[in-house]
Structures are given as structure tokens and as C-alpha cells.
């Protein structure tokens, strides 16, 4: 990365666009991971605005898959991953044990992930003249009885399970779960190209009242928009979880996913160099209902994450001002 020229940095300082205590750091941006899913993209822009407006540090984003971003964080090629589902991938666990990465805070309480179906698949929907198609569907084991309900249009002898995009940690876990639950011979493991493509296929099926089986998580706009049922899985078991996160394990064991704890992932170099930002990140707390509403608005109005983050900060000052010292909170507010 090229450094910002000294003359430009001086001009920024002269016009009050960068603070004197961040002049040296202003020559090198803080690299955030460019997260592809909505909640991660919005949280990234919220944090970037706080870092830029409140503390005068320049930032940018660098793309990559979940695992590649975690590897880059361990190398300090990235400094921040704004929504890190810490402890889920072997890459993260290895780097955390080596002291190369740190998970800061507990940013979204009551987050969850799992396998879901629309409620009308189980209960029907009289208002839409939809009959129940799988009235006894409660658990992942029950899916063995219903592959034809979730028929794959491209291979109708099997059902279709909508997995995460390739490159996401959850895609590996879900693929292993299909084997662990004895469903890999009954359901095709369909991987959407992007998170947006996954959303589009789910929304299209629900709009038409069609059955659809899919992996999903919260916080997301989808969770607030539709009536969905999460399928039961065996209780979480750490030994089983290890077999699900290892794509090479030939005999994975079934288990709920690791209980969700969303944090901000940072590199060791960032943690050492920016204690004032670490203190902020450790206090970040995004109420899940407020966040889901913001995500739904972002999705429905097709807002860019940056614009949605500005709106979030303007609309919810009581949420984020609690994370910052008053003087820095005032700078953020003035910068909006």
C-alpha cells in the first residue's frame, strides 16, 4: 500500500480533517475486512465512521472469504474484522491460540444460526391457500422423510438444501452436517454464489409459497421479515463440533453449532498500537432488534452499507455514544 504523501497529510491537518494525535497513523489506513453479508457490512461501516470521524484515522476495506480474512488478520494484512463469529474456524482458533488475533467484546446478544424452513411448510397458511406439506417436521432427523417436499428443480430425485456460499466457515460446517445427519444422499448441497444470491432464492420461494430448506443466521433482515421455523438439532457438543469444522473428517458427528458470540476481530499489532480504539470496540453493543430493523431498511431501500451506517448513527445516538468518551462522540456526531 502506498503511503499518503506527507504534504497531503499536512494539508489535512491544516484544514482540521485529521487530528494531531493521529497524524502519523494517517499515513497508513486501518484495513477492515470487506464482509459480504448485511450485518457484517453494516457493522463494518459503523466502526469505520467512528474510527474516521471520532479519531481521525483513515480506513479502507479489503475483500476475501471468511477464512482468508482470518488468515490475513493473523498476518496483520487486515487489522479489523467487524463481525467475527469467533472460535468457529480452525484458522481463527489456531491464530487466537498463537496470540495473533483477538476477539473484542460481545457485539450482538442473542445471535443464532441453524437450518430453517418457512412456517407454512409445517402449519400451512389459510390466507394463501397453502396446505401443510411437512406437518411432522420438527428436527433435522425428520428431513429424511421429506426430500420430495424440498425437491431440487435441477435434480428432482433429491431434495435441495441451500447452503452458505463457498468460502464461508458455515459452508464447511453445513456440508459436514449433511453427512452427520445422513442427509447427503437425500439432499443436494446447493451453494449460492453470494449471500445476496442466497437471500434472493429464499425470498423468491417464500413469495411464491414454495417449500425451501436453508441455512441462515441472525441478525439479518430476513429474520424480521418472514415467519420461519428453526429445525431442532442435537445439543452442542464440543467434540462433535470439531468434526464439523474439519472438512477432511470422514465421520462427522451431529451437533448444534457453537453458541454464537459475535465479536470484533483484531490483529495483535492493531491491539498493541490502538488501545483507545480497543477500548471502544470492547464496549460495542448493537441491540439485535434495532439492528434487524436497520438491516431490513437497508435491504428494502437498497441502501449502501455506508449510507445505512450514517443513518444508524444519526437515528440511535444513545446506542453508540455509550461506547465512546464524550469528546470523541461529539466529533462523530459533528462528522455526520
- Give Cα 165 to chain centroid, integer Å: 12
| Residue 20 DSSP label | G
List, edge to edge, every strand of the sheet that includes 80-85: 59-62, 30-33, 80-85, 262-267, 101-108
Quote the CA–CA distance of 299 and 312 in Å, as a whole number.
14
Quote the CA–CA distance of 174 and 116 in Å, as a whole number.
12
Q: Where in the chain is the domain with CATH 3.40.190.100?
A: 112-244
Per-residue pLDDT of the chain (336 residues; tens, 9 = 90+): 333 333 333 333 333 334 434 444 446 999 999 998 889 999 999 999 999 999 999 999 999 988 899 999 999 999 999 999 888 788 999 999 999 999 999 999 988 899 999 999 999 999 999 999 999 999 999 999 999 999 999 999 999 999 999 888 899 999 999 999 999 999 999 998 888 899 899 999 999 999 999 999 888 888 878 899 999 999 999 999 999 999 999 999 999 998 888 999 999 999 999 999 999 999 999 999 899 889 988 988 999 999 999 999 999 999 999 999 999 999 999 998
The CA angle 76-64-22, to the nearest 5 degrees, is 40
Quote the CA–CA distance of 38 and 66 in Å, as a whole number.
14
Phi-psi category of 16—alpha, beta or left, where left has phi over 0 and alpha has psi -120 to 50? left
Whether 257 and 87 have beta carbons less than 8 Å apart is answered as no
Whether 117 and 229 have beta carbons less than 8 Å apart is answered as yes
The whole-number pLDDT of residue 7 equals 33
Whether 187 and 158 have beta carbons less than 8 Å apart is answered as yes
Q: Which residue has the cell 425437491?
A: 151
Reply yes or no on domain 6-109+260-335 having CATH 3.90.1720.10. Answer: no
Task: Tell me which CATH code domain 112-244 carries.
Answer: 3.40.190.100
- The partner residues of 163 in beta bridges, in order of sequence, read 191
pTM (2 d.p.): 0.72
Amino acid at each position: 500500500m502506498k503511503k499518503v504523501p506527507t504534504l497531503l497529510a499536512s494539508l489535512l491537518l491544516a484544514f482540521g480533517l485529521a487530528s494531531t494525535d493521529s497524524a502519523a497513523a494517517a499515513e497508513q489506513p486501518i484495513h477492515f475486512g470487506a464482509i459480504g453479508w448485511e450485518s457484517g457490512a453494516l457493522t463494518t461501516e459503523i466502526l469505520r465512521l467512528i474510527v474516521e470521524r471520532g479519531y481521525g484515522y483513515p480506513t479502507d476495506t479489503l475483500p476475501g472469504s471468511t477464512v482468508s480474512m482470518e488468515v490475513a488478520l493473523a498476518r496483520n494484512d487486515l487489522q479489523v474484522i467487524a463481525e467475527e463469529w469467533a472460535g468457529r474456524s480452525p484458522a481463527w482458533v489456531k491464530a487466537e491460540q498463537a496470540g495473533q488475533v483477538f476477539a473484542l467484546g460481545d457485539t450482538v446478544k442473542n445471535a443464532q444460526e441453524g437450518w430453517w424452513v418457512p412456517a407454512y411448510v409445517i402449519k400451512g397458511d389459510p390466507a394463501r391457500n397453502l396446505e401443510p406439506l411437512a406437518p411432522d417436521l420438527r428436527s433435522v432427523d425428520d428431513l429424511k422423510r421429506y426430500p420430495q417436499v424440498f425437491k431440487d428443480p435441477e435434480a428432482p430425485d433429491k431434495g435441495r438444501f441451500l447452503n452458505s456460499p463457498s468460502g464461508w466457515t458455515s459452508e464447511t460446517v453445513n456440508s459436514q452436517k449433511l453427512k452427520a445427519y445422513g442427509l447427503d444422499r437425500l439432499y443436494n448441497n446447493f451453494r449460492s454464489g453470494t449471500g445476496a444470491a442466497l437471500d434472493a432464492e429464499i425470498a423468491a420461494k417464500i413469495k411464491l409459497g414454495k417449500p425451501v430448506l436453508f441455512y441462515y443466521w441472525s441478525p439479518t433482515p430476513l429474520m424480521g421479515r418472514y415467519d420461519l421455523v428453526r429445525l431442532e438439532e442435537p445439543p452442542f457438543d464440543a467434540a462433535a463440533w470439531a468434526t464439523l469444522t474439519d472438512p477432511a473428517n470422514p465421520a462427522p458427528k451431529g451437533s448444534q453449532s457453537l453458541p454464537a458470540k459475535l465479536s470484533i476481530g483484531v490483529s495483535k499489532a492493531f491491539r498493541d498500537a490502538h488501545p483507545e480504539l480497543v477500548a471502544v470496540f470492547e464496549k460495542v453493543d448493537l441491540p439485535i432488534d434495532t439492528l434487524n430493523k436497520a438491516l431490513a431498511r437497508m435491504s428494502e431501500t437498497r441502501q449502501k452499507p455506508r449510507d445505512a451506517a450514517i443513518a444508524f448513527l444519526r437515528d440511535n445516538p444513545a446506542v453508540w455514544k455509550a461506547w465512546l468518551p464524550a469528546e470523541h462522540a461529539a466529533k462523530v456526531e459533528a462528522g455526520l
